[in-house]
């Protein structure tokens, strides 16, 4: 009896030790995710796997109520069906260390969710499922769960910035044994044998995976330098996609073969844009870009950097339309805002002619906005010529004086 009790006690201690040394993170912090109705409940690291337990909750409606601008949460092109939707986990889902996309950890298997078929879910149903991936390398304590890029009629489940416990293993230091050194035996010199040298074959390093490029950064208030909630909009392969960030921090998975025109918008701020070709980024798989948005407060002066005119004339060039359309969108979304368009020139040449040209250029911008449906009563136009220079440096620097700005006069 005592022997059995001892064995049971030893077995219980062994189990408790195994559990204590396992790496488990309950409800890990996630910086951003693409679908709010799926959450990560637990991440466990074993010798063989990274085990991620997730929970899916179907909305309590036969017809999904999709927020404006969001794609429907169907998988692999599945449309709505009576009583629910279809879900599955893409077998190409993988884990990445942020910024190092060549380090990927593949999906091995999944439980309670199919990977090569679909699973029907009914309104209000909750599905708990588990995904097994290759084991994350020790020391990776933040990773991304990337299922794929969303497309029309589908919604991928991507999680960015998952924080877990996974410290580096500390090497075991062995205490060297101290032994008395014996005198080396005296050997007769021997002739050196000629050993034929093997020709070394160069080992080719595996090429970095080019399946996805990562763009990440933050969106800030240009005045306070504090992060703000924002939305990033872009088009990929004909699909209009949006990523919302409540913290201002964002991370996008992009196709390296595509070209992107990103729009960054936030309520109460004047948006901005970025044109991007991941393939032109010197072969980098990940890069960073922060955005600074100007608040739409009374008295704020906002420079529009991409307004172009014919030389010494006031006719707008087509290269100006993207910036002007961004201003149109802002005026449409903020019905009570009134602005003053201000034209500026440098101080080279005739003072009166510069003053007249700056006024005409401001009126050209006003006319464009009116043509797009903005009430003229909301837009004042004024020219200041070269009286409000921002720099007096070299000719290249003085080119900054030739600009168009708008001032918020009423909110």
328-349 tens-digit pLDDT: 999 999 999 999 999 999 888 8
pLDDT at 98: 75
Over residues 285-328, the pLDDT tens digits come to: 677 899 999 999 999 999 998 899 998 899 999 999 999 999 99
Residue 275: enclosing H or E segment and its boundaries? strand 272-276
pLDDT at 322: 92
- Summarize the confidence of residues 152-177 as an average pLDDT: 76
**Listed range (97-101, 258-262, 370-374) with the worst mean pLDDT:** 97-101
Residue 236: enclosing H or E segment and its boundaries? strand 230-236
Closest alpha carbon to 368 in 312, 319, 408, 328: 328
Residues 6+ away with beta carbon under 8 Å from 140 = 97, 166
Over residues 41-80, the pLDDT tens digits come to: 999 999 999 999 999 988 765 444 444 344 444 444 333 3
Over residues 15-25, the pLDDT tens digits come to: 444 444 458 99
In contact, 256 and 281? CB cutoff 8 Å: no
From 1.20.140.10, 2.60.40.1120, 3.30.70.20, 2.40.340.10, which CATH number describes the 212-295 domain? Answer: 2.60.40.1120
Whether 212-295 and 21-163 are alike in CATH topology: the answer is yes
Over residues 196-250, the pLDDT tens digits come to: 554 444 444 333 344 678 888 999 999 999 999 999 998 887 788 888 888 999 9
Strand partners, 56: 38, 127
pLDDT at 203: 41
Report the CATH architecture of 21-163. Sandwich (2.60)
Alpha carbon dihedral 37, 42, 45, 50, in 10-degree steps, equals -20
**Listed range (235-239, 350-354, 364-368) with the worst mean pLDDT:** 235-239
Domain ranges of the chain: 21-163, 212-295, 296-411
pTM > 0.95: yes or no: no
Q: For 22-159, where are the alpha helices, taking DSSP H only?
A: none
Over residues 104-141, the pLDDT tens digits come to: 899 999 999 999 888 888 888 899 999 999 999 999 99
Closest alpha carbon to 150 in 76, 78, 84: 76
Q: Which CATH superfamily is domain 296-411 in?
A: OmpA-like domain (3.30.1330.60)
DSSP strand E in 58-199: where?
84-87, 94-97, 100-111, 119-122, 126-134, 142-146, 159-163
- 3-class secondary structure, 211: coil
Evaluate if residue 96 carries a pLDDT over 70.
yes
In contact, 228 and 221? CB cutoff 8 Å: yes
Q: Is the dihedral of CA 356, 361, 362, 367 positive or negative?
A: positive
Q: What is the rounded CA–CA span in Å between residue 265 and residue 260?
A: 16
């Amino acid at each position: 009896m005592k022997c059995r009790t001892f064995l049971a006690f030893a077995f219980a201690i062994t189990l408790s030790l195994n559990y204590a040394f396992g790496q488990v993170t309950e409800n890990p912090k996630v910086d951003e995710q693409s679908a709010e109705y799926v959450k990560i409940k637990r991440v466990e690291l074993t010798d063989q796997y990274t085990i991620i337990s997730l929970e899916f909750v179907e909305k309590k409606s036969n017809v999904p109520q999709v927020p404006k601008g969001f794609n429907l949460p169907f998988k692999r092109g599945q449309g709505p069906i009576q009583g629910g939707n279809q879900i599955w986990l893409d077998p190409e889902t993988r884990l990445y260390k942020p910024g190092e996309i060549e380090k990927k950890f593949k999906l091995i298997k999944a439980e309670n969710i199919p990977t090569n078929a679909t699973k029907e879910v009914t309104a209000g149903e909750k599905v708990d499922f588990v995904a097994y991936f290759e084991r994350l390398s020790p020391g990776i304590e933040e990773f991304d769960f990337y299922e794929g890029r969303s497309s029309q009629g589908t919604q991928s489940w991507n999680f960015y910035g998952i924080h877990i416990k996974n410290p580096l293993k500390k090497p075991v230091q062995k205490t060297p044994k101290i032994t008395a050194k014996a005198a080396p035996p005296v050997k007769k010199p021997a002739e050196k044998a000629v050993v034929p040298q093997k020709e070394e074959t160069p080992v080719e390093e595996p090429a970095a995976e080019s399946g996805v490029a990562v763009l990440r950064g933050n969106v800030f208030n240009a005045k306070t330098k504090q992060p703000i909630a924002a939305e990033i909009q872009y088009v990929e392969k004909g699909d209009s996609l949006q990523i919302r960030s409540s913290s201002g921090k964002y991370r996008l998975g992009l196709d390296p073969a595509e070209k992107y025109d990103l729009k960054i918008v936030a309520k109460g701020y004047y948006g901005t844009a970025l044109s991007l070709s991941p393939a032109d980024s010197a072969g980098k798989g990940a890069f960073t870009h922060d955005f600074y948005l100007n608040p739409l407060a009374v008295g704020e002066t906002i420079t529009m950097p991409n307004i172009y005119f014919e030389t010494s004339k006031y006719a707008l060039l087509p290269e100006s339309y993207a910036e002007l359309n961004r201003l149109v969108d802002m005026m449409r979304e903020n019905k009570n805002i009134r602005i003053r368009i201000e034209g500026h020139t440098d101080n080279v040449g005739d003072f009166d002619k510069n003053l007249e040209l700056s006024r005409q250029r401001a009126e050209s911008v006003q006319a464009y906005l009116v043509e797009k449906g903005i009430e003229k009563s909301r837009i004042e136009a004024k020219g200041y010529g070269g009286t409000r220079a921002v720099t007096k440096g070299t000719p290249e620097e003085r080119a900054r004086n030739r600009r168009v700005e708008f001032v918020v006069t009423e909110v």
